[in-house]
Structure formats: structure tokens, C-alpha cells
């Protein structure tokens, strides 16, 4: 795909990208696909997927108490627990505000550790990385932000999101549907969004503006971006997903570069149909 070559123009030391179709076939790739990048918040979808495996295994329930009083696993996954961004203190009643929270995912990891008796880093490895063949992916710290991976590995995860093998497809539909509709909140780097829709560990594009995906991205697009200069999106209407990893912190360069990149990828996919 020629559109993927535009990452060469990004003002970053290293970048790699790939597109995987809904049938699992690779539509194209560019850059060092086996280079290990810090994921920052692109770690969250991986952690969330492990939580959903724990749910399907019966180790936890989505609506069992977890986190602040009145909060549940579902609240933690949907950033509606009321926990602050990076502090383990409640700033709102559960279900009333969309407060993007690293602390919430750390509480989630601790909760799953207690429920399973397995350290969360080991659990996500056993539940997600190993069965998907993500041999170069590790979690060495916070389940909110300390994952390290490659484009090759995340392509495997992006394929899983489109055609689940580890989870029942109905669980993935639930994870990519809006939890607590209508809540506004801050999308980091993009300001207040009303509504600021999320599923279970996955951001849902809907009509958000400004946004890190493209103008041509469908409202059903879901995924995550990270402050390390990383993103993964799945656009069900396009029948494909895109992973792009870089080693420069998110900033104005990404705000300018990512949307036209995504639009070019979508246009090339549409032309190939």
C-alpha cells in the first residue's frame, strides 16, 4: 500500500505501520515491523482483552464491585469509575462522568490478579499474547501504559479484534458498543468531547471532532492511541484495521499527520475493493 509509505515523512526517528483486513490477510506494511516500540496507552486494549478473557473464563463478572465504592469492572473498563487520571482517588460517582483513568486500569489489573491468583502481567501473557503468537510483546509494569510490542504482533491482535478466536464474538460486540451513553469527558490531547463514547477498554469514534482518526473514518471505528506516538484502529465499515507505531511522543506532529494518513489508507482500501 502506497499510503503506508507516507510514514517516512513523519518527523520521528523510527516508524512502522501495517493494515490487516477483516479476513486476517495483510493488505500492506511498511517500516521495521519487528522493531519493539513502547505502546503507552495502546497497552489498554490488550489489558482489556485479558479482562474479557477472565470474564469468559468465569474468574470475574463485569458487574462485580471493583475500584471505588459503587464501581464495577465494567466502570473501570469504560473509564466511568470516577477515579482520577493518575491518582487512586475518586473524583466523581461511578457512571456519572467519563474520566479517562490510568489508575482505573491499574485497579483493574490488581482486581484480576486477586481473582485469578496470577500476576496480571503473566495473566495477559497467557490469555492474549501467547495464544495469538505475540512473542515480542511484554507488559512490564502498569496495565494502563507499560506494554512494549511490534507492528507484527499488533497486527495479530488487530486481526483478533475483527474475527475473534479467544473470545465469543458477542463479547467483542459488547466491548465495541458504547457503555454509559451520553457522558462527556476529555479525550487526552483533543479536549472535551460531548459525548466522549467508549466501550470496554476501546475508544469509539462516533462523531468526535477533533479526533486522531480520519475524516473518512466511520462512526463505528474503534481503537486507541498512545502518548508514545502509537495507534491502532479498526474500521468495521472499511473491513480493515491499521497499526502505526513510532518512537516520538504524541504532540502537534501526530495531530497533523495521523488523520490524513488514515484517510489515505481508507481511500486506498476503497479503491482496491
Instruction: Enumerate the β-bridge partners of residue 7.
Output: none
pLDDT confidence band for 128 (50 / 70 / 90): very high
Please tell me the distance from the alpha carbon of residue 255 to that of residue 241, in angstroms, as a whole number. Answer: 19
Q: Does residue 78 have a pLDDT over 90?
A: yes
Give pLDDT, residue 10. Answer: 98
Q: Does residue 273 have a pLDDT over 90?
A: no
Mean pLDDT, rounded, for 53-69: 97
Radius of gyration of the CA atoms of the chain, in A: 17
Mean pLDDT, rounded, for 6-20: 98
pLDDT digits (tens, 9 = 90+) for 129-174: 999 999 999 999 999 999 999 999 999 999 999 999 999 999 999 9
Contacts for 68 with CB less than 8 Å, ≥ 6 apart: 81, 82, 83, 90, 94
Provide the domain count of the chain.
1
Vertex 174: Cα angle to 172 and 175 (nearest 5): 60
Polymer length of the chain: 273
Starting at the edge strand that comes first in sequence, how are the strands of the sheet with 203-204 ordered? Answer: 26-30, 15-21, 240-246, 230-235, 222-226, 203-204
- Phi/psi region, residue 82 (left: phi>0; alpha: psi -120 to 50; beta: rest), is left
Mean pLDDT, rounded, for 33-54: 98
pLDDT digits (tens, 9 = 90+) for 220-233: 999 999 999 999 99
**Domain hosting residue 195, numbered range:** 2-272
- Specify the DSSP element, H or E, that contains 22: none
Local structure of residue 227 (DSSP, 8 states): T
- Phi/psi region, residue 70 (left: phi>0; alpha: psi -120 to 50; beta: rest), is left
Look at residues 132, 115, 105, 134 and name the one whose alpha carbon lies nearest to residue 47.
Answer: 105
pLDDT confidence band for 249 (50 / 70 / 90): very high
| CATH, residue 42 | 3.40.710.10
Give pLDDT, residue 272. Answer: 87
Contacts for 19 with CB less than 8 Å, ≥ 6 apart: 1, 4, 26, 27, 28, 29, 240, 241, 242, 243, 265, 269
What DSSP line would sit under 30-85, residue for residue? ES-TT--EEEETTHHHHHHHHHHHHHHTTS--TTSB-SSTT-BHHHHHTT-S-B-S
Vertex 42: Cα angle to 244 and 76 (nearest 5): 155
pLDDT digits (tens, 9 = 90+) for 188-220: 999 999 999 999 999 999 999 999 999 999 999
Give pLDDT, residue 4. Answer: 98
Give pLDDT, residue 56. Answer: 98
Amino acid at each position: 500500500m502506497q499510503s503506508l509509505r507516507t510514514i517516512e515523512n513523519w518527523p520521528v526517528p523510527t516508524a512502522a505501520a501495517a493494515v490487516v483486513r477483516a479476513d486476517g490477510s495483510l493488505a500492506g506494511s511498511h517500516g521495521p515491523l519487528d522493531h519493539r516500540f513502547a505502546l503507552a496507552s495502546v497497552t489498554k486494549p490488550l489489558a482489556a482483552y485479558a479482562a474479557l478473557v477472565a470474564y469468559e473464563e468465569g474468574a470475574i463478572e463485569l458487574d462485580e464491585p471493583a475500584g471505588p465504592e459503587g464501581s464495577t469492572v465494567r466502570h473501570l473498563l469504560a473509564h466511568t469509575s470516577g477515579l482520577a487520571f493518575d491518582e487512586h482517588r475518586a473524583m466523581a460517582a461511578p457512571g456519572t462522568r467519563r474520566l479517562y483513568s490510568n489508575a482505573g486500569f491499574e485497579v483493574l489489573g490488581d482486581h484480576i490478579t486477586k481473582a485469578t491468583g496470577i500476576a496480571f502481567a503473566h495473566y495477559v501473557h497467557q490469555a492474549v499474547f501467547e495464544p495469538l503468537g505475540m512473542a515480542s510483546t511484554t507488559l512490564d509494569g502498569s496495565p494502563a501504559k507499560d506494554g512494549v510490542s511490534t507492528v507484527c504482533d499488533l497486527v495479530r491482535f488487530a486481526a483478533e479484534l475483527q474475527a475473534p478466536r479467544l473470545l465469543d464474538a458477542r463479547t467483542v460486540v459488547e466491548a465495541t458498543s458504547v457503555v454509559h451513553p451520553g457522558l462527556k469527558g476529555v479525550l487526552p490531547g483533543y479536549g472535551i468531547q460531548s459525548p466522549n463514547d467508549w466501550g470496554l477498554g476501546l475508544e469509539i469514534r462516533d462523531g468526535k471532532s477533533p479526533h486522531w482518526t480520519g475524516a473518512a473514518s466511520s462512526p463505528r471505528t474503534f481503537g486507541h492511541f498512545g502518548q508514545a506516538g502509537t495507534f491502532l484502529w479498526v474500521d468495521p465499515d472499511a473491513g480493515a484495521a491499521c497499526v502505526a507505531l513510532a518512537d516520538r511522543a504524541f504532540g502537534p506532529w501526530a495531530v497533523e499527520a495521523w488523520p490524513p494518513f488514515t484517510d489515505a489508507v481508507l481511500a486506498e482500501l476503497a479503491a482496491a475493493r
